[in-house]
Amino acid sequence: MASRLVSVPVLVLVLSLMVGTLVSPRKLCTDDEEEGSSCLNSGVLSRQRADIVRGLPGQPPVKFRHYSGYVTVNETRGRALFYWFFEATRHPSRKPLLLWLNGGPGCSSIGYGASEELGPFFPQKDQPNLKFNRYSWNKAANLLFLESPVGVGFSYTNTSSDIGELGDTVTARDSYNFLVNWFKRFPQYKSHDFYIAGESYAGHYVPQLAELIYEENKNAPKKDVINLKGLMIGNALLDDETDQKGMIDYAWDHAVISDGLYERVKKGCDFRQDQRPSKECSNALDEYFEVYKIIDMYSLYTPTCVSNDSSARNLPALRGLFRPLFVSQHQGGWRRMAAGYDPCASDYTSKYMNRPDVQKALHANVTKISYPWSHCSSVVSFWGDAPASILPTLRKLVEAGLRTWVFSGDTDGRIPVTSTRYSLKKLGLKIVQDWTPWYSKLQVGGWTVEYEGLTFVTVRGAGHEVPTFKPSEALQLLVHFLDNKKLPTLPF
């Protein structure tokens, strides 16, 4: 049978007007064609059209499609993860696919990554319209956001006991199952180069998911092989000992704590020990966290939100950035992540995502979850397994030849650049090119260290969420990572 194009001019016109772009008709597979980038079967077309976002409330007109909805990851337990996918602004069929994950654990990639960092649409204060982000990462890649694990954001489970069984292993497995099933829904992206990126506790999520994909690819049937090429993690939790030591050292070196308190923490706390802290250590850390009640731990030099109706005081504490041994026991220090130039931005996102018309447009909350959408889930109160160090996994991925970049905003006090430098030194890779400035146009954007198989990049003046504070530099970083090119070492 000769191949043919589906003629659906009326549907195409309607979708074009609603999405704000010309939606080209898709080619249907014939009997002798394999489903994929060249053609789609009618069932796949139907599922994709069901997920297309036909214009968000307040959305500016754009010339790219975006989709959102649920993908089942465990049919027996009724677990489904929520995603939001943006096609690249230009030539999506030729651009790679990037999955972005936020951390917590228990925090939303839709709330932070998509709506306040690197997605195309940002909610605004007292404004009906979304702000278009001209530094959106879908300028360089097809961009996929995932709320994981279940209990985070709009993702849900029909088996309540699942919430008490969460941890790194479950999260990685569910995320892998999501990808396998998502590619069945969007097979045209199956052959694209695939990358994973994220920040904070995604320092666990990203390498663990990459490792699982790498191992599963060895025995998976061809239809389930994922074309993983690399990973990129920012201000990432990597190693309990060095992360916590670096956090204290950074606070002292940046005039956040006194000499006396610094010495008491060093004397009373041994971050190498896998046991509960001593009374002396606990008292010192209590005093340490007092300062982060008045300044932003995630961005030392930006203002905090002082709005009377701010949800910042009511958002759940960030749990598990470290195992429940030392620092993580001091929950008073775990505020929400910094929201960047507008410290109240998370309030606008929370209000927007809880609007019924927004949820309807996103095909979200279809099961009528009993709790409101939030940046960091109050439902995820248990976290089972989390290795003390992710460095062995990172080393394995580097040795497997996967492109690996680690970046760090240098004004973050939560997982500071000091911690990342300690961790990478502990990783023990040979240095190919040491501390070298890189440029964003005429200004120094930060510094780089090139190791054998791994690139480390600092981003000057950025807090915990690098794309929020330095959007142009973050997009430049992404472009060079995807192109496998070094950042410029001279002004341009």
Q: Is 200 a catalytic residue?
A: yes
- Type of residue found at 135: Y
Residue type, 348: Y
Report the distance separating Cα 197 and Cα 190, nearest Å.
Answer: 18
Q: Annotated catalytic, 412?
A: yes
Q: From the candidates 249, 296, 410, 412, give the one annotated as an active-site residue.
A: 412
The count of other CB atoms within 10 Å of the CB of residue 300 is 21
- The active-site residue out of 204, 363, 464, 480 is 464
Pairwise CA distance, residues 428 & 279, whole Å: 34
**DSSP string over 98-138:** EEEE--TTTB-TIIIIIIIISSSEE--TT-SSPEE-TT-GG
CA dist 443 to 227, 383, 402, 437, Å?
A: 36, 42, 30, 10
Read off the tokens for 345: 């931005």
Q: CA-to-CA distance for 303 and 342, rounded, in angstroms?
A: 8
- For residue 362, the number of C-alpha atoms closer than 13 Å in the C-beta half-sphere is 23
Catalytic status, residue 464? yes
In terms of DSSP H, where are the helices of 37-186?
A: 42-51, 168-185
Amino acid found at 408? S
CB 358 within 8 A of CB 320: no
Cα-based distances in Å from 114 to 138, 274, 353:
11, 36, 12
Residue 282 parent element (H or E): helix 279-290
Comparing CA positions, the residue from 29, 136, 39 lying closest to residue 468 is 136
Nearest-5° Cα angle at 128, 127 to 131:
70
According to DSSP, the residues that pair with 450 across neighbouring strands are: 433, 455
- Give 173's Cβ-side CA count (13 Å radius): 8
- Helix axes of 417-427 and 391-399: crossing angle, nearest 10 degrees: 60
- Count the residues in the chain: 492
Query: Can you tell me the distance from the alpha carbon of 54 to that of 35, in angstroms, rounded to the nearest whole number?
Result: 25
CA distance 429 to 439: 25
Among all residues, which ones are annotated catalytic? 200, 412, 464
